[in-house]
Structure 1
Amino acid sequence: MLHIIKSVAALDDAMALYSEQDDVLLIEDAVYAANPQHQAFSKVKGPSVFALQGDIDARGMTNRISPSVSTIGYEGFVELTVKQDKSLTWD
């Protein structure tokens, strides 16, 4: 499953259902959690965590994203939706 997370507040609920086969994509305000200094960073777990570059740039976070989080563009977003047969968007 692809978990598309739109807000930091949605991380708790999404991560409660996360399994090792899943991918996590942080978009919109959820990209703040990809900053190692953010209080929610510890909730971002697993090797398959991605953050949308356009949202990172829009929030001035380009140099603050953890190396453990892969940044992707819209093409990568499409590839994730193809890879995972199901997706769930968390507000």
Structure 2
Amino acid sequence: MLHIIKSTQALSEATQYISESDELLLIEDAVYAANPQHKDFGQIKGLSTSVLENDLAARGILNRVSPSLRVIPYSGFVSLTVQCEQSLTWN
């Protein structure tokens, strides 16, 4: 399953339900958690996590992303939705 996370608050809720085989995509304000210095980074550590490049750039934090995460363009977002049979968006 693909979990699309839109906020750090939603990230806290979603991580209770994410399994190791799931994919996680951080978009909108959830991209702040991609910074290893962010208080919520520990919640995504060890999970298969992608981060939307345009949202990182819009917030000026493209250079602060953990190297353990995949930074993807919109085409990567589309690829993830095709790859995963189901998706769930967390606001």
Same fold at TM > 0.5: yes
TM-score range relative to shorter protein: over 0.9
Give the residue type in structure 2 aligned to 1:84: C
* Structure 1: runs of 5+ lacking an equivalent: none
Residue equivalent to 1:89? 89
What TM-score, normalized by structure 2, do the two folds share?
Answer: 0.96
Runs of 4+ in 1 over 2 A off after TM superposition: none
**Alpha-carbon shift at residue 45 of structure 1 (Å):** 2.9
Residue equivalent to 1:5? 5
> How big is the alpha-carbon RMSD for the aligned residues of Structure 1 and Structure 2?
0.8
**Alpha-carbon shift at residue 43 of structure 1 (Å):** 0.7
SS in 1 for 2:15: helix
Aligned residues: 91
> What fraction of aligned residue pairs are identical, expressed as a percent?
58
Residue equivalent to 2:26? 26
**Alpha-carbon shift at residue 47 of structure 1 (Å):** 4.3
Q: Matches of 1:62 and 1:14 in 2, distance apart?
A: 23
